[in-house]
Amino acid sequence: MENAGKQSGIKHIALLVLPQVQLLDVAGPCDVFTGANLFLPDDKAGLKYQIHLISGTANKIIYSSSGIPLPCTHTIYDADFPIDTLLVAGTDLETLHEINADLYSYLQNMTGKVRRIGSVCVGAFVLAKAGLLKGKQVTTHWKYANILQRTYPDLEVNVNPFFIHDQGIYTSGGVSSGIDLALALLEEDFGKPMASEVAKHLVLHLKRPGVQSQFGNAISDYEMLSPFTKEIRDLLKDKLGQAISIEFMAESVHMSVRNFSRVFLKESGMTPGRFLEKMRLDQAKNMLEYTEMSIEMIAGKCGFGNAVSLRRLFLKYLSISPVQYRKNCTGTE
């Protein structure tokens, strides 16, 4: 795929659009690539980008999640131009069940014909079902990362980066992360100074600080947990400031430690210790956002011996300190 689709002149960028797509999934990358055309030097003016919206259905009008129609110039059934970069925009998980199998065949056929292929947000699920992500490290919207990992266990899903490039495949996180990916692709093509100019034009960071997972919870939404995992979460939620052992968890549900650990890993996808750690992280994040408690006090209420331990946990999962997290969320330290 690395050598496919290379050409002089216009670089054709195709956004594959599905029903219920969020507008920013499409508009963000489009504005980056079209913005780049404004800054091309004279000696590269002939290498401009041209954007195409390709419908993932037989209809050339696709309705976005906000109800705004997106007119596509082509569909997967009639797109016959040489594509340089193909990005699959996201949609909602329910719409994924309605996608025609022809879409996956189209993506499989495009492998090797395009120079780059990638996804924005939930578009990673489409690439995964097409079999293009096997054995690769990928990302998607933080809210759906656990679902992607459970559905496709042969992937390595990393919720932290805003985008990931692995073996010619690019995946990006939730919604606005498509802009981060597009800027990175622009930098690949024309260098950092050009990408920086476009980022400034769009009033954006070229490299956004922090990680994607800082915007979501470390533990999946309650309704997404299994009944067994919900039971353990409910047991622990008011005890996070206390010392909690795996023995205590197992005894509470009348199981041996060994059997409890095995069942919990199967039900939640993580060890009981990791689950407890993430619950404490989520509580600390909430307190940093919505209270004025000191870092030391929050550390104590979340079951950490001191602020140093809390800082280590934040750096482990979010790559930023509690102080920086509070500043990013509230503007205060």
Q: Determine the Cα–Cα distance for residues 13 and 117; give it in Å rounded to an integer.
A: 10
Q: Do 29 and 15 form a contact (C-beta atoms < 8 A)?
A: yes
Q: How far is CA 19 from the centre of its chain?
A: 19
Q: Count of CB atoms within 10 A of residue 187's CB? A: 18
118: which strand partners?
A: 87, 170
Mention every residue, 6+ apart, whose C-beta is less than 8 A from residue 258.
none
Specify the amino acid at residue 266. Answer: K
Identity of residue 137: Q
CA distances, 202 to each of 172, 206, 259 (Å) = 19, 10, 54
Residue 26 to residues 17, 113, 187, 205, 279: CA-CA distances in angstroms?
Answer: 8, 22, 19, 19, 34
The count of other CB atoms within 10 Å of the CB of residue 29 is 27
Would you call 121 a catalytic residue per the annotation? yes
- Count how many Cα atoms sit within 13 Å of the Cα of residue 21 in the half-sphere of its side chain: 35
**Tokens 């495949």, located at residue:** 169
Q: For residue 119, give Cα distances in angstroms to 150, 163, 262.
A: 19, 9, 35
Catalytic residue among 30, 121, 302, 329: 121
**CA-CA distances (angstroms) from residue 326 to 18, 46, 271, 283?**
36, 46, 28, 13
Residue closest to 268 by CA, chosen among 219, 314, 235: 219
- 54 forms beta bridges with 16, 74
Tell me the backbone φ, ψ of residue 163, rounded to 5 degrees: -155, 160
Cβ–Cβ under 8 Å, residues 78 and 38: no
Name the residues annotated as catalytic.
121
